[in-house]
Amino acid sequence: MAGKFSKAITPDQVAEWMKQGVALHIVDVREQDEWDSGHIAGAKHMPLGMVSQRHSELNPKQETIIVCRSGNRSGLACEHLESLGYNVVNMTGGMMNWNGSVEC
């Protein structure tokens, strides 16, 4: 898997926390067409290529789950954001392994 990051979570864990009503902060780093095809409700869209310019939109102290299609781009985003001091978690397996609902 791409990227060297400290924390990971599975799509099933994210879905379970959502079902329990846990307030989650999710950032989806996929491209626009991928986002448009379906994303996790409440997620923020920030394509990987924009993370360097838009990271200040995130709270560095708040745990943020980073999502992509398979977990590779989100791993790269986690590595970059961690190097800047952000508290991020990679959703391993990405949307390919997401069984929860999506919105378009």
Residue 2, pLDDT > 70, answer no
Q: What is the pLDDT of residues 5-32, one digit of tens each?
A: 889 999 999 999 999 999 999 999 999 9
Distances (CA, A) of 33 to 40, 92, 103: 14, 21, 13
Q: What does pTM read for this prediction?
A: 0.95
Q: Distance between CA 53 and CA 62 in Å, rounded?
A: 19
